[in-house]
Structure 1
Amino acid sequence: MNLEKIIKYSGYLSSGLFMLIGFIVSFEVISRYIFNSPTIWVNEISRFLQIWATYLALTYSFHKNDFIRITVIYDRVGQSGKKILDFISMLFILFFSSFVVYYGWLIAYDSLKVGRTSSTILDVPSFLTELAIPLCFFLLVIRVSIEIVRKLGLLIK
């Protein structure tokens, strides 16, 4: 499976997780207010899913060029200026994401090593939540690196 498919499916998975969150939160509202029987799992599971869904959407957003831009300067420069600003942005994203991958992995690995769990009744291993950050930022690092190489290749031609 190539990277483009992984990115596409990470976006689909993210969308599906957000829809699932909507369903389970709706279930909680119905259980709590109509049947007077609240659940003990919806809050933690929806938070867990939201973390994964948000970080899975990172690479897909970059791939679709849907990141937020501050357009005060961007809209006032020409095409070559936009290309330069995009390239600078990619370098910042690569630099920041690399740090997040490194330190996120250290935190997630530490949680796995010591067996840290959530402080709720479900006692979910913290590693499962924390792994979303380095894994999804690693996908972003790969995608941004490919785009930087592609842009540099266009400059050389």
Structure 2
Amino acid sequence: MLRLLDGVSRAAAWAAAVLFALIGLFVTYEVVLRYVFHAPTTWVEEVSRILQIYGVYLAAAWLVATRQHIRIRLLTGRLPPTGRLWCSRFALLFAAAVGVFAAWNAMSLMQFSLMMQERTDTSLALPMWLVQWPVPAGCALLALHALALVGHSFVDPDRLLATEAAATVSAD
């Protein structure tokens, strides 16, 4: 299960990276058109915002998987490995709970938007569910990955501690 989630999270993170690169290209395109040719677009701002939502929520599970999300190690860094392991498990369970809560509420909002046939109030008038769906999808994937890491930590606790150590080294 964890290997499958790793693959899905990695693919989602790559997709997020592509989306962020596209945002950069679109904004550059807009700047050139606006300030060089005096012909601004009507779609770049909205599409860039939507792609940013997609990118953030697609990358969230990968950040959990690689332990790159924000953590404060003031106290846990002084604990022995067993204490760090249990703190990591607790933090992952908390992240999973937040992910489930956010996914559930975002799904409710998305269902309401579908029922009401809401659209963005911009020139593109996109369906709101199209803008909203990455939130429940990304939060659910984050929660699944966090729970899988907790479960796997009882089989291979060294993996969780190793990703913890790798994240510490790369952050310094």
Tell me whether the two structures share a fold, i.e. TM-score over 0.5.
yes
CA–CA separation in structure 1 for the residues paired with 2:136 and 2:145: 14
Partner SS for 2:78: coil
Alignment of 1:5-154 (within 5 A): 5-154=7-156
Deviations 1:37-84 (A, max 9, x none): 100000000000000001111011111111111121122212112111
Deviations 1:99-153 (A, max 9, x none): 1111110001111111101111110111011111101111111111111111234
CA–CA separation in structure 2 for the residues paired with 1:104 and 1:29: 33
Identity of aligned residues (%): 27
The range that moved more, 108-117 or 16-25, is: 108-117
Partner SS for 2:75: helix
Deviation of 1:154 (Å): 4.8
Bigger relative contact order, structure 1 or 2 (CA pairs below 8 A, ≥6 apart): 2
- After TM superposition, the runs of 4+ consecutive aligned structure 1 residues lying more than 4 A away are none
Point out where structure 1 has 5 or more consecutive residues left out of the alignment: none
CA–CA separation in structure 2 for the residues paired with 1:145 and 1:108: 24
Residue type at the aligned position of 2:61: T
CA–CA separation in structure 2 for the residues paired with 1:5 and 1:92: 23
Point out where structure 2 has 5 or more consecutive residues left out of the alignment: 158-172
CA–CA separation in structure 2 for the residues paired with 1:71 and 1:145: 21
Residue type at the aligned position of 1:80: T
Deviation of 1:3 (Å): 2.7
Q: Alignment length, in residue pairs?
A: 155
Q: Please report the RMSD computed on the Cα atoms of aligned residues, expressed in angstroms.
A: 1.4
Contact 2:6 2:62 in 1 (8 A): no
Contact 2:113 2:128 in 1 (8 A): yes
